[in-house]
Each structure stands twice: as C-alpha cells, then as structure tokens.
C-alpha cells in the first residue's frame, strides 16, 4: 500500500470566491488544518509585499519566528508518527493564511522539509500544493501574480 501525506497551503481570503471552474472556494478538506492568520506575523517589513513563500527572503523571515518554526516542525513530527504508527493510507494537512501567498506557503514547505528528513525509510510519499498562489493576493492590489506551481525541491 502506498501511503501519501499531502500538504496544501491556501488563503482564507479566497473563501467564497470562485475558481477557474466556477466552483466556490472553501478551506480544503483536511485531516489537520492550521490557521496561521493570527499566529505567525507575515512580516514586519513592507518589502515582503511582492515576494511569496517560494522566495527565500520570505521563507527565512517567516521561519525566524520561533512559533512558526515550531508549529511546522511539531506538525510534521505528529504527521510522521501517524503515518508510521497507524493504518492511515492518506493524510492531508492544510495550512491557511490570509492570502495563501506567504505564511501558509512557508509553513507548508517547512512541514514537507521536516517530513522528508524524518521519512528515512520512505514509509510514505509527499505531495505539496499551493492552491491560491496563482490567485490575486486579497491584501495587495495591483500585484503581478506569481506562478501557481512550487519549484521547491527536496
């Protein structure tokens, strides 16, 4: 049996809008959902309004916050334990921030990185999706839109 852990970042600010298929967006269905809108500051600097969580400057800035790093690592440890010590075939973790462009993306990437380090016996496969990265950021008007894929590799 192939076990899979899927990590999805998303933006709560897109809830109630429609996607390209005219489907109403909601928070993704998940076994574990983290709401990081109020827990982790997006940034202290206005220079982070353009880059996303795929950019190293944002990634490093968010993870300098001890709460952000601990949340990601502890979520990964819990997920790893579930996949090793249970009959679960699939586990979905969703991380939501306001727009789904910075904080949620960074936390998702850190969870995947930690899971890859823990999964030395290749008990499960990892998948990551950034659902709202290609959508306009609801907090920034006139922003050019980044690609909807993640070039992040392990």
Per-residue model confidence as pLDDT tens digits over 89-104 = 999 999 999 999 999 9
Residue 90: which domain range? 3-130
Domain count, the chain: 1
| Domain assignment of residue 146, yes or no | no
Per-residue pLDDT at 8: 98
pLDDT digits (tens, 9 = 90+) for 69-92: 999 999 999 999 999 999 999 999
| Domain assignment of residue 32, yes or no | yes
| Domain assignment of residue 142, yes or no | no
Per-residue pLDDT at 41: 59
| Domain assignment of residue 76, yes or no | yes
| Domain assignment of residue 140, yes or no | no
Per-residue pLDDT at 138: 76
DSSP type of residue 24: B
Please report where in the chains the tokens 């996303």 appear, as a residue: 52
SS3 content of the chain, % helix, strand, coil (to 5): 30, 20, 50
- Calculate ∠ Cα 57-100-133, nearest 5°: 80
Q: pTM score, two decimals? A: 0.85
Q: H helices within the chain, ranges in order?
A: 56-63, 66-85, 103-118
| Domain assignment of residue 152, yes or no | no
Per-residue pLDDT at 136: 86
Q: Which residues pair with 127 in a beta bridge?
A: 6
| Domain assignment of residue 65, yes or no | yes
Distance of alpha carbon 25 from the chain centroid:
16
- Calculate ∠ Cα 12-13-18, nearest 5°: 100
Q: Measure the CA–CA gap between 80 and 21, rounded to whole angstroms.
A: 34
- Residues of the chain below pLDDT 50: 45-46, 142-149, 151-154
| Domain assignment of residue 21, yes or no | yes
């Amino acid at each position: 049996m192939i076990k899979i852990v899927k990590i999805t970042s998303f933006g709560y600010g897109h809830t109630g809008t429609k996607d390209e298929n005219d489907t109403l967006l909601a928070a993704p269905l998940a076994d574990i959902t983290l709401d990081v809108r109020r827990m982790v500051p997006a940034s202290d600097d206005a220079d982070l309004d353009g880059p996303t969580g795929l950019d190293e400057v944002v990634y490093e800035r968010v993870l300098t916050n001890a709460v952000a790093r601990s949340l990601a690592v502890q979520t990964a440890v819990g997920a790893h334990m579930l996949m090793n010590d249970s009959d679960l075939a699939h586990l979905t973790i969703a991380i939501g921030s306001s727009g789904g462009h910075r904080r949620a993306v960074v936390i998702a990437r850190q969870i995947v990185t930690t899971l890859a380090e823990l999964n030395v016996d290749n008990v499960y496969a990892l998948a990551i999706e950034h659902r709202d990265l290609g959508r306009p950021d609801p907090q920034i008007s006139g922003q050019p839109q980044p690609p909807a894929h993640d070039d992040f590799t392990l």
